[in-house]
Structure 1
Amino acid sequence: MRRAWVETESEVGVEAMEDLGLKFFLSLRKSYWIGRHMKVTTPRIACLETALAYRRRFAELQQALSHRGVVSPGLLNRLSIADLEDNWHRFSALYIEACCGLGETQNIDASSPKSKEAVAKRLATLVEANSAEREKQLRAWNCRQMLLEERLQRQAARKERAALLRNRRAMSREDRNKARHQKLPSELVKNLVRRWERLQSQRRRREAAVLQQERAKQRAAARVELKQRAAARVELRRCRMEREERWRWLNRPDLTMADLLGQRGL
């Protein structure tokens, strides 16, 4: 874009380019937070360098979520809820800066739809509108994790059964070999003790494996519950702040009917 701009400017001249009044804007996606079919756009920017600078900063945030250069749908398989929330907070701050830190919108009253508060509220509304889809993705991810855990447990059980079968066969061969030779009573007792100790060791290993699987399942369930509780606390805090903000706005002493009508329009 910069190269095309410079080449065109060299051909037609700076004044001609200024007469065109070209402006630029960024169209941004955040499918996990606002939905796959929703986009947010920045205000139109007259300076190409400013637009490109914002584009680079947004691209860096998006790159943090990408896998081999592509933001795939399986974000929960690679990133935690905390990572996604941190990326969204930084994206929101940068988007508000892009919308309200430009020359056309710097000195706007807080009640204006172009103010920082209004832009932040629009983002929060989009996030709230997509909350059901995020919950659906989280439930699907939890189901996949549970299925994976069950599959791993079945594999471990199959390996354990195969090991037990090998041990039984080995013990059977050992018994047959011993039966071919006459043994002293003391040797028979020693063999019996060794076999008993081996069986006890196998039993303890099985019990330890089962206990480890149970603990892993409990830890996984606890992590899922912590994530859900954290998300619920964040959502509850956001809703409470919105209600308090609206109550303060409706109960301020300088409230006018025009303000109420304007708020209803918004």
Structure 2
Amino acid sequence: MRRALVETESEVGVEAMEDLGLKFFLTLSKSYWIGRLSRVQTPLIACLETALAYRRQFAELQQALSHGGVVSCRLLNRHSIADLEDNWHRFSALYIEACCGDASSLKSRQAVAKRLAALVEANSAHREKQLRAWNCRHMLQEERLQRQAARTERHALLRDARTERHALLRDRRAMGREDRDEARRRKLPRRRKLPSELVQRVVRRWERLQSQRRRHEAAVLQQELAKQRAAARVELATQRAAARVELRRCRTEREERWRWMNRRDLTMADLLGQRAV
């Protein structure tokens, strides 16, 4: 724009450009606060540099909420309510400055702030709907993850039980074979066992006892892990209940804040979000 004006001025002359009386304005959107179809405009600005400076500041505020250069309609997925409110307060202060300037009366600035507050209030139902939808999606995601964890735990327990059952069957078969071999040997003429045979028999018995001990320890560990997972699920449910309470508290605070911002004795400092906490 700056280059186009300079080139046009060089072609037609400074006086012709002054006679043309070009003025500029900005059209701004804040879909979360005032709705997707609502727009606010700045008054006409005679100086291009001033208009470009305001445009740059508004673009910085919008960039703070963008993702990949685009401001998505699902801001709650990436930003907290406090971040959105802070961005809106800075946007409001900059818009009031662009509309009224530093020399305007307090009454004019209050009128602009009142107009912004009315737009925000008119879109409050849509914001509450977005917040409820975000909360439902968040809870559904948590429930889906919880079901997935429970399913994984159930499959692990079934797999461990199957493995232990197969191991017990193998031990029973091995002990049965040993008993049958022992029975056959008893029927044969008695002979003195070799030391190596006795050692092998002790080793086999010891290995079987070690295997049983390891399986028992694994079963105890699995039971302990199951108890810990159950405690984690209880803790998650408690956190979700606390989050729902916090959501209701935040909604109540927002309603009180809107009532406070629309009272009769409202001041300019209140409208700009400067009241003491």
Question: Does the alignment pair 1:123 with 2:116?
Answer: yes
Residue number in structure 2 paired with 1:176: 169
* Higher deviation after alignment, 115-124 or 215-224: 215-224
1:50, distance to aligned residue in structure 2 (A) = 0.4
Where does 1:8-157 land on structure 2 (aligned, <5 Å)? 8-101=8-101, 106-108=103-105, 110-111=106-107, 115-157=108-150
1:193, distance to aligned residue in structure 2 (A) = 5.8
Question: Does the alignment pair 1:205 with 2:225?
Answer: yes
Distance 1:23 1:126, change over 3 A: same
Letter paired with 1:92:
S
1:73, distance to aligned residue in structure 2 (A) = 1.0
Q: 2:121 and 2:137 mapped to 1: Cα distance?
A: 25
* Higher deviation after alignment, 215-224 or 60-69: 215-224
Letter paired with 1:84:
L
Q: CA deviation digits over 1:72-119, x for unaligned, max 9? A: 1111111111111111111111111111116xxx333x44xxx11111
| Structure 1 unaligned spans of 5+ | 249-266
- Between the two structures, name the one with larger relative contact order (CA 8 Å, sep ≥ 6): 2
Q: 1:66 and 1:221 mapped to 2: Cα distance?
A: 31
Letter paired with 1:52:
L
Aligned-pair identity in percent equals: 61
Residue number in structure 1 paired with 2:260: 240
Letter paired with 2:78:
R
Distance 1:234 1:147, change over 3 A: closer
Letter paired with 1:86:
D
Distance 1:224 1:90, change over 3 A: farther
Letter paired with 1:155:
Q
Q: 2:251 and 2:174 mapped to 1: Cα distance?
A: 70
Q: CA deviation digits over 1:184-233, x for unaligned, max 9? A: 99988876665444333222212211221332233244234324423431
Answer yes or no: is the 8 Å Cα contact 1:149–1:217 preserved in 2.
Answer: no
Answer yes or no: is the 8 Å Cα contact 2:26–2:51 preserved in 1.
Answer: yes
* Higher deviation after alignment, 172-181 or 51-60: 172-181
Q: 1:107 and 1:30 mapped to 2: Cα distance?
A: 25
Q: CA RMSD in A?
A: 2.4
Q: 2:114 and 2:25 mapped to 1: Cα distance?
A: 21
Q: 1:4 and 1:66 mapped to 2: Cα distance?
A: 29
Distance 1:107 1:167, change over 3 A: closer
Q: 1:241 and 1:77 mapped to 2: Cα distance?
A: 27
Question: Does the alignment pair 1:217 with 2:214?
Answer: no
1:136, distance to aligned residue in structure 2 (A) = 0.3
Q: 1:5 and 1:138 mapped to 2: Cα distance?
A: 45
Answer yes or no: is the 8 Å Cα contact 1:33–1:134 preserved in 2.
Answer: yes
* Higher deviation after alignment, 210-219 or 40-49: 210-219
Number of equivalenced pairs = 240
Q: 2:99 and 2:237 mapped to 1: Cα distance?
A: 46
TM-score where L is the length of structure 1: 0.82
Distance 1:90 1:217, change over 3 A: farther
Answer yes or no: is the 8 Å Cα contact 1:24–1:48 preserved in 2.
Answer: yes
TM-score where L is the length of structure 2: 0.79
Structure number with greater Rg is: 2
